[in-house]
């Protein structure tokens, strides 16, 4: 990313008057006025049949009921210890709602006698299909299926689905009644938007992996009811979208029948235009003789943006992108001419995204197949260009398969639609509690919310718990710890990851920990010794000539505010705030001495953001003269 691009990204992130969101389909980005966005979402939340505003912390009682149910099922041997551990909820904030703009043309997609599980499955099922002259190609789409399903209907549909499953006993020790009990708990959903908490009274849980299963169960129930009175020639369904073939004269009657099967579930329809109809990513073309041709379908709002060749991704993912789209051309295009047109389009598409022609052709040919043993384990690691490839080559002979994920994305950097989660509400964190009497700190990790863990520390201190390292430090030294100012230093969902991070942050701490190997210290610091010396020289020159200061007020040692002459610089609570956003922060554990002649001496590690030419500052017994 160039300097100008970084500045633009920073400017966009700071603009609190706009909301930047990906659209729900089409690989596009929408920029909305924040107030307009809030008004639109609040309009949806005013639907009292679907949402109800609640007060307090309703998720706390829900977590307790889930834990009680899971514990009871484990005691009955319906769940194993591992399954129960996986199902027990952890503390966390109320799920935050955000909306995705819809900019694409609403497609009416297929529903089916036999489920169409994918585009390939759909193509297989319509292969050889011939239409009569009066047959109509139609797609029906359920209007907002996931938010309109009555909870009672979802439960009844699941009961019916489970009762017909003869293989259930082979897959789980849970009885049908116990499964339904767990489903009911999953369907109790709360969400937060603009500081208000809502109960979702209708529809499937937003963002839950169970939502697709519930929707499919409801649609199977719907089909069994609808087809008792009216059955089309072809009915292929992918979740809530259907592809239908039926006589033209029966179209209106069938549509009316669909909308009267279950209250709240309504369909829109779209007929073929110019003998063409889209379903999933397939364009179906009716020939004059009644036979069907197929090719790749792209929505009118498609941006033409794919994974760029110069993006920070491993070469294997770039090659996979090429192979996948060219393979789709082979599977979706039913004639040589349609296939030739699609391949021509793909060459232009990849070229516009920076792919060299030679790379495209080499990727299409694909690698030579090498028989490899099945990996014993798989790992997903952040991608670092050059390093990740080397790690992958070293671990492959050991039976470890590596998958790469990006460290950061533009989406994560720009998307700011969700409510802010305060640090004390965050769970799965590594935290630090500074000591007020020395430069050490307590570093710990927890899967609970930080405020819960802090409360536990306070109770341990109050009862002088000998297992508490915080209590031991205070009792042995006579110091006090600033427990109310515990701060989050890192986050990780998995306990193993948190333990590693805890060790990395515990180099100047009094908690129980295992020190990291000295070989990793320079990697963690992110600098070599030569880089450190160069930074020290730049820092010394910059700070010694930069400013003069006069004290504004002085409360306690270490908390002195300084006003620097002819500038907006302020030193306050061990922070040097420079201009609008630049920050020189004295890290926890750093000793700050304010001596005669207003000389500030810093011993430890400083971190700078926004200072010209500075990234990290290492200063040992470094003195910065500030004259008054």
pLDDT tens across 492-536, in order? 888 888 888 888 888 778 888 777 776 666 666 654 455 455 544
pLDDT at 137 > cutoff 90:
yes
If asked whether residues 554 and 504 sit together in one domain, one would say no
If asked whether residues 543 and 601 sit together in one domain, one would say yes
If asked whether residues 589 and 530 sit together in one domain, one would say yes
Helix (H) or strand (E) holding 413: helix 410-414
φ, ψ (nearest 5 deg) of residue 101:
-65, 145
- Per cent of the chain over pLDDT 70 is 77
CB 107 within 8 A of CB 228: no
pLDDT for 261: 86
pLDDT for 610: 36
Q: How far is CA 261 from CA 49, 257, 264, 280, in A?
A: 20, 7, 9, 25
pLDDT for 372: 65
Q: How far is CA 462 from CA 330, 471, 572, in A?
A: 71, 9, 32
DSSP 396: G
pLDDT for 577: 34
Question: If you search the block for the tokens 């036979």, which residue do you land on?
Answer: 291
Residue 22 pLDDT level (bands cut at 50, 70, 90): confident
Helix (H) or strand (E) holding 552: strand 549-556
pLDDT at 133 > cutoff 60:
yes
What pLDDT, in 10s, does the model give residues 92-132? 777 777 677 665 433 322 333 457 888 988 999 998 888 98
Total number of domains constituting the chain: 4
- State the pTM of this model: 0.63
CB 493 within 8 A of CB 86: no
- CATH number for the domain spanning 461: value is 3.40.1440
Specify burial of residue 235 (Cβ count, 10 A radius: 0-12, 13-18, 19+).
buried
Residue 223 in domain: no
Alpha-carbon span 78 to 478, nearest angstrom: 52
Residue 530 in domain: yes
The half-sphere exposure of 480 on its side-chain side, counting CA atoms within 13 A, is: 4
**Joined tokens for residue 472:** 């031991």
pLDDT at 605 > cutoff 80:
no
Residue 277 in domain: no
pLDDT for 622: 29
Q: What is the mean pLDDT of residues 552-564?
A: 35
The half-sphere exposure of 584 on its side-chain side, counting CA atoms within 13 A, is: 20
DSSP 274: T
Alpha-carbon span 344 to 569, nearest angstrom: 59
Residue 496 in domain: yes
If asked whether residues 515 and 434 sit together in one domain, one would say yes
If asked whether residues 428 and 518 sit together in one domain, one would say yes
pLDDT for 26: 56
pLDDT for 533: 53
Compare 518 and 455 and report the one with higher pLDDT: 455
DSSP 554: E
**Among 439-453, 465-479, 611-625, the least confident range:** 611-625
pLDDT for 511: 84
Residue 499 in domain: yes
Alpha-carbon span 372 to 356, nearest angstrom: 30
If asked whether residues 614 and 534 sit together in one domain, one would say yes
Residue 321 in domain: yes
**Joined tokens for residue 307:** 């994974």
Count Cβ neighbours within 10 Å for each residue of 362-382 and write b for 16 or more, e otherwise. Answer: ebbeeeeeeeeeeeeeeeeee
pLDDT at 398 > cutoff 80:
yes
Residue 182 in domain: no
Give the pairing type, strands 400-405 and 377-382: parallel
Q: CB count, 10 Å around CB of 115?
A: 19
Angle separating helix axes 336-352 and 357-365, nearest 10 degrees: 130
pLDDT averaged over every residue in the chain: 76
**Alpha-carbon Rg of the chain, whole angstroms?**
31
Alpha-carbon span 270 to 139, nearest angstrom: 5
pLDDT at 139 > cutoff 70:
yes
pLDDT for 27: 64
If asked whether residues 483 and 568 sit together in one domain, one would say no
CB 488 within 8 A of CB 423: yes
Per-residue H/E/C for 283-349: EEEECCCCEEEEEECCCCCCCCCCCCCCCCCCHHHHHHHHHHHHHHHHHHCCCHHHHHHHHHHHHHH
Q: Which domain covers residue 377, as residue numbers? A: 371-404
If asked whether residues 519 and 429 sit together in one domain, one would say yes
Residue 25 pLDDT level (bands cut at 50, 70, 90): low
Q: How far is CA 117 from CA 6, 110, 320, 391, 530, in A?
A: 42, 11, 22, 36, 58
Q: What is the mean pLDDT of residues 135-149?
A: 88
Contacts of residue 264, Cβ cutoff 8 Å, sequence gap at least 6: 148, 149, 150
Specify burial of residue 244 (Cβ count, 10 A radius: 0-12, 13-18, 19+).
buried
If asked whether residues 396 and 427 sit together in one domain, one would say no
Query: What does the longest C-alpha to C-alpha distance in the chain come to?
Result: 99
Q: CB count, 10 Å around CB of 618?
A: 18
Residue 5 in domain: no
If asked whether residues 464 and 516 sit together in one domain, one would say yes
Alpha-carbon span 525 to 530, nearest angstrom: 13
**Among 19-33, 174-188, 288-302, 470-484, the least confident range:** 19-33
pLDDT for 370: 59
> Among 228, 238, 212, 286, which Cα is nearest to 139's?
238
Q: CB count, 10 Å around CB of 137?
A: 22
If asked whether residues 464 and 513 sit together in one domain, one would say yes
Contacts of residue 303, Cβ cutoff 8 Å, sequence gap at least 6: 26, 27, 28
Q: CB count, 10 Å around CB of 113?
A: 15
Alpha-carbon span 248 to 246, nearest angstrom: 6
DSSP 520: G
pLDDT at 362 > cutoff 50:
yes
CB 381 within 8 A of CB 400: no
Alpha-carbon span 191 to 63, nearest angstrom: 14
Helix (H) or strand (E) holding 458: helix 450-462
What pLDDT, in 10s, does the model give residues 58-85? 777 888 888 888 888 888 888 888 888 8
> Among 457, 459, 391, which Cα is nearest to 424's?
457
């Amino acid at each position: 990313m160039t300097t100008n691009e970084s500045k633009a990204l920073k400017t966009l992130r700071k603009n609190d008057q706009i909301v930047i969101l990906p659209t729900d389909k089409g690989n596009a980005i929408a920029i909305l006025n924040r107030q307009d966005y809030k008004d639109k979402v609040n309009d949806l939340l005013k639907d009292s049949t679907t949402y109800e505003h609640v007060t307090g912390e309703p998720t706390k009682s829900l977590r307790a009921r889930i834990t009680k149910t899971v514990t009871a099922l484990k005691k009955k041997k319906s769940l194993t210890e591992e399954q129960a551990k996986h199902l027990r909820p952890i503390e966390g904030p109320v799920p935050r709602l955000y909306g995705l703009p819809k900019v694409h043309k609403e497609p009416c997609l297929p529903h089916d006698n036999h489920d169409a599980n994918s585009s390939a499955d759909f193509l297989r099922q319509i292969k050889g299909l011939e239409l009569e002259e009066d047959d109509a190609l139609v797609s029906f789409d359920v209007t907002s299926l996931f938010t309109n399903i009555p909870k009672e209907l979802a439960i009844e549909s699941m009961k019916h689905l489970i009762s017909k499953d003869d293989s259930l006993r082979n897959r789980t020790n849970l009885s049908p009644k116990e499964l339904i009990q767990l489903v009911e708990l999953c369907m109790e959903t709360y969400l937060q938007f603009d500081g208000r908490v809502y109960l979702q009274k209708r529809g499937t849980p937003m963002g839950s992996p169970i939502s697709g299963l519930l929707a499919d169960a409801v649609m199977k129930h719907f089909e069994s009811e609808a087809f008792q009175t009216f059955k089309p020639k072809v009915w292929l369904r992918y979740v809530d979208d259907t592809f239908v073939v039926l006589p033209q004269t029966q179209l209106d009657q069938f549509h009316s029948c669909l909308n009267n099967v279950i209250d709240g579930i309504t369909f829109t329809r779209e007929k073929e235009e110019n003998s063409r109809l889209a379903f999933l990513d397939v364009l179906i073309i009716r020939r004059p003789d009644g036979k069907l041709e197929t090719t790749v379908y792209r929505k009118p709002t498609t941006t033409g943006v794919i994974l760029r060749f110069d993006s920070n991704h491993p070469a294997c993912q770039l090659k996979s992108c090429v192979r996948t789209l060219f393979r789709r051309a082979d599977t979706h295009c039913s004639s040589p001419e349609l296939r030739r047109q699609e391949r021509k389009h793909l060459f232009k598409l990849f070229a516009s995204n920076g792919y060299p022609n030679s790379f495209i052709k080499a990727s299409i040919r694909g690698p030579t197949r090498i028989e490899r043993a099945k990996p014993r384990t798989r790992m997903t690691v952040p991608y670092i260009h050059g390093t990740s490839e080397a790690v992958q080559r070293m671990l492959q002979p050991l039976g470890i398969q590596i998958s790469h994920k990006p460290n950061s994305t533009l989406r994560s950097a720009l998307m700011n639609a969700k409510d802010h989660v305060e640090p004390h509400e965050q769970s799965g964190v590594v935290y630090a509690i500074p000591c007020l009497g020395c430069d050490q700190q307590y570093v710990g990790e927890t899967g609970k919310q930080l405020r819960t863990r802090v409360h536990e520390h306070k109770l341990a201190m109050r009862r002088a718990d000998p297992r508490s390292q915080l209590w031991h430090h205070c009792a042995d030294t006579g110091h006090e710890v600033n427990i109310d100012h515990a701060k989050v230093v890192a986050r990780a969902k998995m306990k193993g990851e948190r333990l590693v991070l805890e060790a990395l942050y515990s180099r100047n701490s009094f908690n129980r920990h295992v020190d990291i190997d000295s070989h990793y210290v320079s990697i963690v610091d992110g600098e070599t010794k030569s880089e450190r010396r160069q930074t020290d020289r730049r820092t010394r020159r910059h700070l010694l000539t930069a400013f003069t200061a006069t004290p504004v007020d002085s409360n306690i040692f270490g908390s002195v505010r300084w006003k620097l002459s002819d500038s907006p610089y302020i030193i306050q609570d061990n922070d040097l705030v420079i201009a609008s956003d630049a920050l020189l922060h004295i890290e926890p554990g750093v000793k700050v001495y304010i001596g005669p002649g207003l000389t500030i001496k810093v011993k430890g590690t400083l971190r700078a953001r926004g200072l010209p030419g500075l990234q990290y500052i290492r200063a040992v017994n470094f003195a910065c003269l500030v004259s008054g």
